[in-house]
Structure 1
Amino acid sequence: MKQFFLKIFTWWNSQTFGTQVWTALYGEFVGEDENGNRYYRTKGGKIDPTLGFERRWVIYNGYAEASTITADWHGWMHHTVDVPPTELNYKPREWEKPHRANLTGTAGAYRPSGSMLASGRRPKATGDYQAWTPGQ
Structure 2
Amino acid sequence: MKFLLKLLTWWNGPTIGTELFTWRFGKRVGEDAAGNVYYQNADGSRRWVIFKGEPEASEISAEWHGWLHFTWQQPPTEAPLPRQAWEKPHRPNMTGTALAYRPPGSLLAPAGGPRVHADYDAWTPQ
Structure 1 length as normaliser, TM-score?
0.76
The equivalences for 1:1-136 within 5 A come to 2=2, 4-45=3-44, 54-90=45-81, 92-126=83-117
Q: What amino acid does structure 2 have at the position aligned with 1:25?
A: R
Deviation of the 1:68 alpha carbon = 0.7
Matched to 2:31, the amino acid is: E
Q: Which has the higher contact order (CA 8 A, sep 6+)?
A: 1
For residues 24-59 of structure 1, what are the alpha-carbon distances to aligned partners after superposition, in whole Å with 9 as ceiling and x for unaligned? Answer: 1221111111110000111232xxxxxxxx111111
Residue deviations 1:62-110, cap 9 Å, x none? 1111111112111111111101111114453322210111011122211
Please tell me the root mean square deviation across aligned C-alpha atoms, in Å. 2.4
Deviations 1:88-133 (A, max 9, x none): 14453322210111011122211223223334532322367799xx
SS for the counterpart of 1:31 is strand
TM-score for both structures, normalised by structure 2:
0.81
Count of residue pairs brought into register by the alignment = 122
Identify unmatched segments of 5+ residues in structure 2: none
* Distance in 1 of aligned mates of 2:76 and 2:10: 27
Matched letter for residue 20 of structure 1: E
Gaps of 5+ in 1: 46-53, 132-136
The whole-number CA distance in structure 1 between the counterparts of 2:113 and 2:78 is 51
